[in-house]
Structure 1
Amino acid sequence: MTHPCSPSHPRLYTALLLILLLFGLLPSAHASVANAPGANIEVSLITYGPGETYWERFGHDAIELRDSASGEAINFNYGVFDFNEANFFLNFARGRMHYLMDAAPSDLDERFYVESGRSVTRQPLTMSADQAAALRDFLLWNLRPENAGYNYDYYADNCTTRVRDALNEALGGVIKTQLGARAGGMTYRQQTDRLMSAQPWLMLVMDLGLGPYADQPLTAWQESFLPEVLQARLREIRIDNGHGATQPLLQGEQLISPNRLEAPPVVAPDLRLPLALSGLLLAILIVLTRRWWPTGYALLGTVYLLAAGVVGLILLALWTLTTHHSAWGNANLLLFNPLAFLLLPTLWRARRGFAASRFMDGVIVVQLLAIVIAVLLHLRSGVVQQNQPWLLFALPCWLAMAWSLRRNR
């Protein structure tokens, strides 16, 4: 699985100098964001559009602090990770992802995204002097090496939720209060499929691996785990103007650079028909090759059973051995599971005309019962895992496989 935020480009040397300046470890000849009075600090949300690489598909964002007196502007973001970190890929597989906060001059940060063809949007926010100063102090505290790291979660604790939470805290909780009372537009699964649709195979793998957690109804606050959703939702927020009325949180919106890449679709693709047709086609091929080409039948069946078994092992591992809670309780484990490995010898015996043993008959019945349970789980009321596409794919395949293995009996 991938993450909803794309990291900033490498800038270790610049970041080091920036930290030294911000914390007063190097002499500064002029006023800066670090020592500016709150009345001089302008706060903006900077939103970057999706990129081309799979880990950039969800976009990115940052908080910009600008000193109106000196003109210095710094972007603070939470999307930095290091591929060279010890055991990075092992920790990624376990769901123990270590991310970092970072900061860089705004022009340097934004230039990278402009050159990549990704959109850059600035939304100036209305904050009092005390609120702006408190946000600045928190971000500088968070930037310290001992505070910069956090344990990343795809949906609940990522680079955008950290930005959202920092703004919400500075504004006294007004963002969470208002967005928490409004319904979101899509589920985690729908947003993931929509944004990953440019990489169809990766989208299918991710959809297969997501459990019922990804299908819960979301509030607008929860759905703001995505940069573009947070950007849109901030347009709805109203704050106290200090005179008994309210005013918009946003002072305006400026498109710094337009998107020059292919934009993701507005809605998630419907996978039901493509996967249903794929499952039906595979089932027909199993039946036809069983009758007319035994060797082809054995090879085709082997590919299917191996794939089903491997997928089952991965789903089981995600549920029991990792902290990827978005993959826990996955009903697709009823459709694809390690029982498939037990049927491989029977498959090759069937190629030579031998019937399945009584034990293998039992394995086949258990697998068909698992399919029935998966269907019943999907039909029950309440929050249900939206795995209809995989049900439609697996059902004809397993029916054809069961018929072919028991045909000689």
Structure 2
Amino acid sequence: MSLLLRRSLALFLLVLLGAIALPARAGIADAPGDRLQVTVITYGPGDTYWERFGHIAIELRDTRDGEAISFNYGVFDFDEKGFLLNFARGRMHYLMDAEPTDVDTAWYVQAGRSITRQRLAFTPEQAAALRDFLLWNLRPQNARYDYDYYVDNCSTRVRDALDRALGGILKATLDARPGGMTFRQQTDRLMSAQPWLMLLLDFGLGPYADQPLTGWQESFIPMVLQRELRSVKVPDGRGGEQPLVVDEREVSPNRVQAPPPQAPDLRGPLGLAGATIALLLALARRRAPVMFAILGTLWLLLSGLAGLLMLGLWTLTTHHSAWANANLLLFNPFAFALIPAVWRAARLRPARKWEDPLLIAQLLAGLVALALHLLPGVVQQNQPWLLLGLPVWLALAWSLRAARGATTGVA
């Protein structure tokens, strides 16, 4: 049994049976619903890349004793057998956990991450139902779940637990509200502090990441769930309605770099990079053949490796957000086969028969990628990568054809 599973078992037993050092846990387990106060605690993004999406927890407080337990779904175990392999294959196992709220709060305050508390208008029956579900979920045999970045994470699990106790009100409200961003846009926005990682993630995301979202779906981000909770109304017990969020307050300010409100526009930087590489290839072909060969080789190597990565994500993993990536039409393993052609062109040697058909096929694939992007409906939003790849492929094709013309002239 892993360390975290043993910890979950200990926490579960403490919650059910109580302990001298933690008397409040027995109170949480046994308290009637009218003594339970339900609060959602949202923690802002941190500095480390896995903290950029923020975190969220449900606090249950015994109003008689004043002590509280926070339940969250964001624990993973590096010591789990095959963790890194499972992570690469998209089979990540996360755990539910529970801690005294003061312990959690102290850690996030020290880390400089914002902490916002939203007290919710739960009836005693709803609070008791939520408590019973969370305690059931905390059992070691129930605590582990298969993590998914976008549809099953620490935020969606909190959202679903709240909705379950509220009888579906939360889902009905948020499903009727359009989301503000797509999975891709939220990912780019939150990861913008690590530009290279942001670019890698954006490159690897397929059309799944560009579907329009509802407020329910976009609540995979803790800060979005925090915002959406403010719009929910629940019965007030007198035939009317009241806001679900009774009280909201920030108990600790943010002291780390906050994400921008919108995703960065990658079209300009990547378009400029594509035009620059294309121009360098065209100029170097005549003036610096060796530089042309080196630059062309680097481009083809990166294209081939990127293609292998995308193929692996599509065929060997459960990362469904990376499946059917249209960038494969621009960057694919066939690029490796053109590396000798670049060096032959630099040395003014005749081309092989299969090189022209392969080059034409690559150009046609680029045109197909462009056409797919222009089709109406939900398509992959990969304009930045089209702006990067198409100019370079056109310049490379022109340079190879021009070099072959020079070869023919010399002969």
TM-score normalised over the length of structure 2: 0.95
SS at match of 2:157: helix
Q: How far did 1:13 drift?
A: 8.7
Deviations 1:147-205 (A, max 9, x none): 00000011011110000000000000000001101100000000000000000000000
Q: What CA distance in whole angstroms lies between the structure 2 residues aligned with 1:24 and 1:344?
A: 68
Distance 2:27 2:331 in 1: 58
1:272 is matched with which residue: 267, 271, 281? 267
Alignment of 1:318-397 (within 5 A): 318-397=313-392
Q: Distance in 1 between matches of 2:365 and 2:243?
A: 53
Cross-structure match for 1:3:
none
Q: Does the 8 Å CA contact 2:9/2:139 hold for their aligned counterparts?
A: no
How many residues in Structure 1 have an aligned counterpart in Structure 2?
400
Taking the aligned partners of 1:266 and 1:356, their CA distance within structure 2 comes to: 51
Match of 1:21 among 3, 14, 28: 14
Does structure 1 residue 93 correspond to structure 2 residue 122? no
Change (3 A) 1:16 1:147: closer
Query: Structure 1 pair 352/15, CA: closer, same or farther in 2 (3 Å)?
Result: same
1:294-320 Cα deviation digits (max 9, x unpaired): 111111111100000000011011111
Paired position in structure 1 for 2:175: 180
1:29, distance to aligned residue in structure 2 (A): 5.6
Distance 1:284 1:362 in 2: 24
Deviates more, 1:398-407 or 1:118-127: 398-407
SS at match of 1:256: strand
Cα-Cα RMSD: 1.5
Q: Which has the higher helix share?
A: 2
Q: Does the 8 Å CA contact 1:355/1:405 hold for their aligned counterparts?
A: no
* Structure-2 residue corresponding to 1:43: 38
Mapped to 1, the partners of 2:229 and 2:160 lie a distance apart of 13
What letter corresponds to residue 23 of structure 1 in structure 2? L
Shift of 1:243: 1.6
- 1:56 — aligned with what? 51
Q: Distance in 2 between matches of 1:19 and 1:107?
A: 18
309, 314, 317: which is aligned to 2:309? 314
> Residues 95 and 219 of structure 1: is their aligned pair in 2 closer, same or farther, counting only changes over 3 Å?
same
Distance 1:204 1:16 in 2: 40
- Residue 25 of structure 1: how far off its partner (Å): 6.6
Unaligned runs of 5+ in 2: 406-411
More off after superposition, 209-218 vs 350-359: 350-359
My pick for the range that moved more, 149-158 or 16-25, is: 16-25
Q: Identity across aligned pairs (percent)? A: 63
> In the TM superposition, what is the alpha-carbon distance from 1:357 to its structure 2 partner?
2.0
Structure 2 counterpart of 1:107: 102
Residue 139 of structure 1 aligns to a residue in which SS? helix
Question: Contact 2:300–2:338 (CA<8 Å) still a contact in 1?
Answer: yes
Shift of residue 18, structure 1, vs aligned partner = 3.4
Label 1:110 to 1:13 Cα distance change in 2 as closer, same or farther (>3 A).
farther
Residue 286 of structure 1 pairs with residue 285 of structure 2: no
Q: Is the 8 A contact 1:14 1:104 kept in 2?
A: no
Distance in 1, matches of 2:270 and 2:340, equals 27
